């Protein structure tokens, strides 16, 4: 099997590459995973197809390729090493640069 597989999302889903969270330290103590909020940041790699229920018009996605998004850990489907498929309605926000 080839390791060079590419995945194209179908429906209102995005393909994301997970971003390793940096270790959080508070006053010199490492905060364990069980205490940290279970969130996951990822970079959008590809967009699926988003149409209305009658499949008559294509609706815009709220994100674009390259965006950094946040969703709850465990909500995506593992498709490759460090890549997941996530439904658009599972995304909570897009990280933007402050102005």
Segment 3-45, tens digit of pLDDT? 678 888 988 899 999 988 765 555 566 666 665 567 889 999 9
What is d(CA 14, CA 89) in angstroms, rounded to the nearest whole number?
10
**Where do the structural domains in the chain lie, given as residue ranges?**
13-21+39-95
Q: Which two tokens stand for residue 68?
A: 């950094």
Q: Which two tokens stand for residue 66?
A: 């390259």
pTM of the model: 0.76
Q: At the topology level of CATH, where does 13-21+39-95 sit? A: 10 Kd Chaperonin, Protein Cpn10; Chain O (2.30.33)
Segment 40-82, tens digit of pLDDT? 899 999 998 876 666 666 778 899 999 999 999 888 999 988 9
Question: What letters, b where the CB count within 10 A reaches 16 and e where it falls short, cover 4-36?
Answer: eeeeebeebbbbbebeeeeeeeeeeeeeeeeee
């Amino acid at each position: 099997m080839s390791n060079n597989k590419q995945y194209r999302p179908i429906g209102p889903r995005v393909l994301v590459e997970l971003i390793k969270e940096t270790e959080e330290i508070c006053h010199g103590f490492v905060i364990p995973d069980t205490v940290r909020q279970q969130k996951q940041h990822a970079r959008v790699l590809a967009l699926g197809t988003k149409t209305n229920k009658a499949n008559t018009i294509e609706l815009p996605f709220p994100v674009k390729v390259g965006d950094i998004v946040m969703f709850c850990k465990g909500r995506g489907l593992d498709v490759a090493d460090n890549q997941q498929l996530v439904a658009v309605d599972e995304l909570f926000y897009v990280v933007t640069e402050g102005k």
